[in-house]
Amino acid sequence: MSFEITILGSSSATPTLDRHPSSQIVTIYDRHFLIDCGEGTQVQMRKYKVKFAKINHIFISHLHGDHILGLPGFLASLHLMNRTNDIHLYCHEPLKEILEIQFKYSETYLRYNIIYHFLRNDVSEQIYEDEKLTIETIILNHRIPCCGFVFKEKTALLSIRKDKMEAYQILPQDIPPIKRGNDYISPSGQRIANKELTYPPRIPESYAYCSDTKYDERIFPQLKGVKLLYHEATFMHDLLKRANETYHTTAKQAAMVAKICKVQKLLIGHFSARYNDLNPLLEEARQEFKETYLAIEGESFMLDK
């Protein structure tokens, strides 16, 4: 199983010479999800060898430019690469108009369909599900409608102990019910408890992405116990007033969220361009939550390690 997050962009509104606006690739079971698509995203994808053709689902947190300005170019590049498979775009409804105007006046006629999934901003909802995982929205507190996303691996089936299969002469057709948690009834009528036949299930992986938001305790229930939390940390805490005015979070506040929600690891990003050196933000966060790391572009974070 592979559950990996690759950072493509970690800057806030203004890019710098070495930091690009928000964008990430989440890879789970060879499914590739793009989260946000700031300016320069497709260049970063080429730099870090992300395969364009594998992306079928794009999640846009909100409509500020540093999260969407790379999207028209990326979609146009897919067209020029002769893509014909549908793209699923999860976004707030006005993005459809933004893209259609862009394509209308550039006379771009895509070879593939964009399947829109519009996000609500009044209630969290599950927006994706397959046999391996689910994805749900987090309602964030920003100046305009903004959603985060929680990726949750489904609990896997139990693993059969081979030694017990041999000991009880369990046949292949008897295995599926045991994997689903049922006890085994032998041909002689003996009941064998499921826990004797199987290994305890692995704890499912989980990842939460909180893009732009003020510190807000209303999102805590959805973040409880996630393995990896990405949370914006635009400013240091000495600029708390500025953070509140712009509906952003400080590094200290992001770490407080991680500590209260008992996550395993915290990634901070969406850094203001005023910070050339990010280590002070990291140090501030680690005073509250030790397992904090910087969202450095090009780095990947494996959840199943």
| Contact (Cβ atoms closer than 8 angstroms) between residue 294 and residue 264 | no
Of 36, 66, 174, 212, the active-site residue reads 66
Backbone angles phi, psi at 172, to 5 degrees: -55, -40
Give me the amino acid identity at 285.
Answer: A
Compute the distance between CA of residue 268 and CA of residue 196 in angstroms, rounded to an integer.
Answer: 43
Handedness of CA 93, 270, 5, 292 (dihedral sign): negative
- The verdict on whether 66 is a catalytic residue reads yes
What are the catalytic residues?
A: 66
